[in-house]
Amino acid sequence: MRKKIVAGNWKMNLTLEEGKQLSSEIKDFVRQNPLQNLKGQPGVILFTPFIHLASVAADVAESEGLEAGAQNCHTEEKGAYTGETSAMMIQSAGAGNVLIGHSERRSYFGETDEVLAKKTEIALKNNLRPMFCCGEVLEERNAENHFQVVKKQLEKGLFWLSPVDFAKVVIAYEPVWAIGTGVTASPGQAQEMHAYIRSIIAEKYGDIVAHNTSILYGGSCNAQNAEELFAKEDVDGGLIGGASLKAADFSTIIKSFS
Ligand code: PEP
């Protein structure tokens, strides 16, 4: 079912102690501001580094609507993959979510659409909710190829799923030129792409599935601009990088639905 979501991507930041501190501050915020009483009744997900995952998952377990997630998983269930972490391990750590296809994974770690399709499959098999990231680089937008790029990412990464499995996925549209740059897509640009994404989901899976899909915006979303972005009809919340590292900013973003 379509839901408003604010997700924090901590990336490779924070020591274990700092991570515990941040999750406990967010937990305090949620205790004082029950999510079901806030506008939009958002769910909140903390995508932590693996080192933090089990402790954050345990910390937020009793907080209604607050969940933990991993930033990546391996394509295989288990085996001789030194340094890697499987979807099954993430599930066993008490986390229910996993980011798939963040642009930093695509560009720095060479993750292809085919690899991301496998990661999505193994995540679903292990009862994790994939948050699948898509988005164009600046050259692609300047060349007016952005719709085609995003369409291809979704077709290869997700559109082979059954309708039942597709309904478990959350999509994050993250224009690469906006990630960590301080340049945000305008609310109009975000809405235009989100509406397009919903339209191609409708073509593939039908109007009801499209209507029920949560599509988040990510890319320099912060406490100042979240409200305007989240006010757009097809923007169901945000995937937040830098601004998720400060409890005060992240809390303001959680309250930014109208
Ligand atoms: C991200 O990493 O998903 C992200 C959106 O980062 P930032 O908010 O820092 O641009």
Adjacent-strand bridge partners of 129: 97
| CA gap 224, 251 in Å, rounded | 12
Structural domains of the chain, with CATH: 5-254 (3.20.20.70)
- Expressed in angstroms and rounded, the spacing between residue 222 Cα and the centre of ligand 1 is 9
Cα-based torsion angle of the residue sequence 24, 25, 31, 32 in order, rounded to the nearest 10 degrees? 160
- Residue 30's CB: how many other CB atoms inside 10 A? 19
- Expressed in angstroms and rounded, the spacing between residue 45 Cα and the centre of ligand 1 is 14
pLDDT higher than threshold 90 for residue 197: yes
Amino acid at 232: K
pLDDT in tens, 127-148: 999 999 999 999 999 999 999 9
Percent residues over pLDDT 70 in the chain: 100
Give catalytic residues, as residue numbers: 102, 174
Model pTM above 0.95? yes
Which residues have any ligand 1 atom within 6 Å of their CB?
Answer: 9, 174, 179-180, 218-221, 239-243
Strand, helix or coil for residue 68: strand
| CA gap 168, 7 in Å, rounded | 16
Q: Which of 10, 47, 179, 217 is the best mutation target for the ligand 1 pocket, counting ligand atoms within 8 Å of the beta carbon and taking the most?
A: 179
One-character DSSP codes across 94-141: T--EEEE--HHHHHHS---HHHHHHHHHHHHHTT-EEEEEE---HHHH
- Expressed in angstroms and rounded, the spacing between residue 80 Cα and the centre of ligand 1 is 32
What's the whole-number average pLDDT of the chain?
Answer: 98
Which residue has its alpha carbon closest to ligand 1 atom 4? Answer: 241
Give exposure, 77-109, as e/b (b: 16+ Cβ within 10 Å).
Answer: eeeeeeeebbbbbbbebbbbbbbbbbbbbbeee
Instruction: Please tell me the predicted confidence (pLDDT) of residue 1.
Output: 81
- The atom number, within ligand 1, closest to the CA of 178 reads 10
pLDDT in tens, 80-97: 999 999 999 999 999 999
- Residue 163's CB: how many other CB atoms inside 10 A? 11
- Residue 15's CB: how many other CB atoms inside 10 A? 11
Q: Residues 38-52: what's their mean pLDDT?
A: 98
Amino acid at 220: S
Instruction: Please tell me the predicted confidence (pLDDT) of residue 148.
Output: 98
Q: Is the dihedral of CA 64, 25, 133, 146 positive or negative?
A: positive
pLDDT in tens, 141-176: 999 999 999 999 999 999 999 999 999 999 999 999
| CA gap 9, 19 in Å, rounded | 12
Q: Which of 240, 244, 256 is the best mutation target for the ligand 1 pocket, counting ligand atoms within 8 Å of the beta carbon and taking the most?
A: 240
- Expressed in angstroms and rounded, the spacing between residue 27 Cα and the centre of ligand 1 is 21
